[in-house]
Amino acid sequence: MTDMTETLTPPADAARSAGETLLEVTDLAVEFRSDDGAVRAVDGLSYRVEAGRTLALVGESGCGKSVSSLAVMGLLPPTAHVVGGTARYRGTDLLALSPTQHRAHCGTHVAMVFQDALAALNPVHTVGYQLTESLRARTGTSRRDARRRAIELLDLVKVPNAAQRVDEYPHQFSGGMRQRVMIASALALDPDVLIADEPTTALDVTVQAQVLRLLAEIQAERQMGLVLITHDLGVVAGVADDVTVMYAGRAVEQAPVRDLYAAPAHPYTRALLRSVPRIGVAEDRTTGGRLPVVPGRPPAPGRVPPGCSFHPRCELAQDVCRTDEPPLAEVAPGRSSACHFAAELLGGARA
Amino acid sequence: MPEPTAATTTPDAPPTDASVSLGGDAWRRLRRRPDVIVSAAVVVFFAVMAAFPLLFTSTDPQRCIIGDSKTRPQGLGAAHPLGTDVHGCDMLAQLVHGARPSLMLAFVVVGASVVIGVVLGLLAGFYLGWVDTVVSRTVEVFLVIPLLLAALLLLSLFRNVRVGSGAFDVILLPALVLTLFGWMGYARYVRAATLEAKNLDYVTAARALGASDLRVMVRHVLPNAIGPVTALVPTAIAGVISAEAVLAFLGIGVRPPAISWGIMITNGAEWVTGGYPYLLLFPLGCLILTVLALVVLGDALRDALDPRLR
């Protein structure tokens, strides 16, 4: 293991100390401009990624979790624009950089793993080529060294028989192996922060667990900051250190993972947690053995209701929720919630 | 944790070059197909003919004796193995000496058109916006101008320009005209394929690793967008050879005294019903053989090189 970290970790400047803040997103707002006017996909999102810790961004489809990470990477589609906020990588605001400067940070400092590994690997290039393309382009590594490095990377993500598979094409790999290749290619330049956008959605359950464990291992070993985007709270429990729950473009609850699972401080989080299937628990529920769901659908972007955006689906909704928007406020040390009744929720759980 | 042994031993494994093995693999695949071997032989045959015409005939194609006009094919060993044309010129000599201008014209025109079309199509599809507007409108303008009209215009422009009589000079004018009106198809196909490819995840993934526009275009979009073009090329070559005949009719084809298959086809076509079909069949046969061979080769090459078809 020491051998491998030596070969894979570039010299001193990339050293990371645990707890150091690597990426800090503050008040990020992203708008899509269409003929019907501007639509806010992300509205005042803030989070912080520290070295050696994993932050999970959790939410339903369309809540802005992917858009926010694309904004950080400078990969927003042409119709979307960042309209406010900063994303500081070690003090440098990535969003204020020119596209060329921003690009220089992508891959080297902040890298991303995509959801569908088959689509995210180019079918006409060998796996080895794709793993080290960035390396060769940036550092002028020779073909031979790049190939050796590609094999190391495949070993790192535990692709068996790396020396042979490095010359194969993506379609010759299984789904889980492709996702491993995606992770390896994101690690090629040893980034400080890795953003994984639903890395396990396209995989079956057993492979999901393997890939997540791998991500967690690599993250711990290299003291990277990991942003794990997912809609699956079951995934979060085993891997994340901190959780940010998003709803309709905003963070509604931020907490360390244990606290969040022990006592959710927002009714949305609570509803999400209840809807995670668990063996042996469903039977004794009052719902008669059926898995509870969050009623209704998330609001379409641009049609977010006034007041608390979650109130139409919330079981605790009162009149105040329909008119006043609750701010994201600290409700206990280290955790915050955007709910008028966060204190009651926490108190009720303790009682 | 992977065993340290795996990490320490693999880098010492002899590095085999990926591109070499791909090429070797393609070669093994090609060899197994008899149609490919026959096609390759045909192409090589005509290429040698174009390069060294004197290997095939010692008769001067311009030595025409009007008294020998329309001699029927006499078979090997005779004075005119394939007969003579209307003007009494030896058919074999004309066919052999016509190969070079015809093939060279075809390859120059298709090559230049593909380069222009691919570059413009790629830029238009990738950047859209004003680049796309300019390219797309230009394509449309060139598509609606009739080839013959434009050819006549260019002819009048270049009438007094003296070009030499080297192998390339005799095809310069038709090459110019045909390229000018030959690139639009490639541009459209590549633009469409680029539009499709550039939104795929692997392009975004390459960008996420910090790839520049040029790298994304050349390394990621182009290899996936070039497919339709490779299918067009063999038939385009045939098209160029026959289009040259039309230009020759207007006097801006291959410059006399050079001869080409296209000119022979045009001239021979008049006599098919008059009892002399061989005047058309020999040059047409050469053209069809060349084109069929190129189609088969192009197909086989694509099958062998595209990793997705394995």
Tell whether the torsion through CA atoms of A307, A308, A313 and A318 is positive or negative: negative
Minimal Cα–Cα distance from B310 to chain A, Å? Answer: 10
Alpha-carbon gap: A340 to the closest alpha carbon of chain B (Å)? 39
Helix-helix angle A175-187:A143-156, to 10 degrees: 120
Residues B148, B253: Cα–Cα separation, whole Å: 12
C-alpha B21/C-alpha A277 separation (Å) is 49
d(CA A238, CA B164): 79
Domain locations in chain A as residue ranges: 2-240, 265-350
Question: Rounded CA gap, A46 and A67, in Å?
Answer: 14
Q: Quote the CA–CA distance of B156 and A39 in Å, as a whole number.
A: 59
In which band, very low, low, confident or very high, does the pLDDT at B118 lie, cut at 50, 70 and 90?
A: very high
pLDDT at A280: 60
Query: Residue A156 and residue B209: Cβ atoms within 8 Å?
Result: no
Per DSSP, B84 falls in state B
- Asked if A75's CB is within 8 angstroms of B212's CB, the reply is no
pLDDT greater than 80 at residue B73? no
Beta strands across the sheet bearing A329-332: A110-113, A193-197, A225-230, A54-58, A242-247, A250-256, A335-337, A329-332
Region B62-74: what's the mean pLDDT?
A: 70
Per-residue pLDDT 10s for chain A (351 aa) are 334 433 444 433 446 776 788 899 999 999 988 887 888 888 889 999 999 899 999 988 878 888 898 899 888 888 888 988 899 998 889 888 888 888 888 888 899 988 887 788 888 888 988 888 888 888 888 888 888 989 999 988 888 888 888 888 888 888 888 888 988 988 888 899 999 988 887 788 888 888 888 888 888 888 899 999 988 887 788 888 999 999 888 889 999 998 888 888 898 988 888 887 776 654 555 556 677 788 888 887 777 888 888 888 888 888 888 888 888 888 888 889 998 888 888 876 554
- According to the model, what pLDDT value does residue A227 have? 92
pLDDT tens digit sequence for B120-130: 999 999 998 89
Q: Decide if B202 and A120 are in contact by the 8 Å CB cutoff.
A: yes
Mean of pLDDT values over B200-220: 86
For the entire predicted model, the pTM comes to 0.75
Which sign does the torsion angle of CA A215, A216, A222, A223 carry? positive
- B162 alpha carbon, distance to own chain's centre: 27
* Phi, psi angle pair for A227, to nearest 5°: -110, 115
Q: Which of A122, A148, A217 faces B11 most closely, judged by CB atoms?
A: A148
ipTM above 0.90, yes or no: no
B200 touches chain A (CB under 8 A): yes
Query: For B17-30, what is each residue's pLDDT tens digit?
Result: 444 455 666 677 76
pLDDT at B305: 66
* Angle ∠(A198,A203,A208) on CA atoms, nearest 5: 75
B77 vs A: CB within 8 A = no
pLDDT at B119 (0 to 100):
94
- Residue B11 is predicted with a pLDDT of 40
Which tokens in the block code for residue A130?
């794709």
pLDDT tier for residue B140 given thresholds of 50, 70 and 90: very high
The predicted structure's pLDDT at residue B310: 55
B102 sits in which H/E element: helix B91-127
Q: Which two tokens stand for residue B33?
A: 């197909």
Interchain CB distance below 8 Å, A155 and B7? yes
- Per DSSP bridges, beta strands A110-113 and A193-197 are parallel
What is the CB neighbour count within 10 angstroms for residue B25? Answer: 14
The total of other beta-carbon atoms located within 10 Å of residue A105's CB is 22
How many whole angstroms from its chain centre is CA B55? 24
Q: Is the distance from CB of B125 to CB of B193 less than 8 angstroms?
A: yes
- CB pair distance less than 8 Å for B208 and A156: no
Contact B207 A126 (CB under 8 A): no
Cβ(A317)–Cβ(A271) below 8 Å: no
Phi, psi of A46 (to 5 degrees): -130, 135
Contacts of B125 (CB under 8 A, 6+ apart): B132, B190, B191, B192, B193, B194, B195, B198, B221, B225
Q: Is the pLDDT of residue B300 over 70?
A: yes
User: What does DSSP say about strands A250-256 and A335-337: parallel, antiparallel, or unpaired?
Assistant: antiparallel
Per the DSSP assignment, residues forming a β-bridge with B65 are none
Cβ-Cβ contacts under 8 Å between A and B: the total is 121
CA-wise closest residue to B202 among A72, A114, A73, A131: A114
Residues of A in contact with B7 (CB under 8 A): 3-4, 7, 152, 155-156
Helix (H, G, I), strand (E, B) or coil at B284: helix
Q: What is the dotted CATH code of the domain comprising A2-240?
A: 3.40.50.300
Cβ count within 10 A of residue A302: 14
Per-residue confidence (pLDDT) for residue B299, from 0 to 100: 79
- Residue pair B231/B213 in contact (Cβ under 8 Å)? The answer is no
Rounded to 5 degrees, what angle do the CA atoms B35, B227, B191 make? Answer: 155
Cβ-count burial A170-194 (b if 16+ within 10 Å, e if not):
beebeebbbbbbbbbbbbbbbbbbb
Rounded to whole angstroms, how far apart are CA atoms B61 and B256?
12
Contact B72, B278 (CB under 8 A): yes
B4: closest CA of chain A, how far (Å): 6
Contact B195, B140 (CB under 8 A): no
The tens digit of pLDDT for each residue in B227-257 reads 778 778 877 887 887 788 777 767 677 766 7
For B29-42, the pLDDT digits (tens) are: 767 778 888 888 89
The closest of B206, B99, B287, B41 to A132, measured between CA atoms, is: B206
Residue B160: pLDDT band (50, 70, 90) is low
From CA A211, how far away is CA A208, in angstroms rounded?
Answer: 5
Indicate the residue of A73, A105, A152 with minimum beta-carbon distance to B11.
A152
In angstroms, the CA A254 to CA A264 distance is: 10
Partner residue facing B220 (CB), from A108, A122, A185: A122
Q: Which residue of A124, A141, A148 is the best one to mutate when testing the B interface, meaning the one whose CB has the most B CBs within 10 A?
A: A124
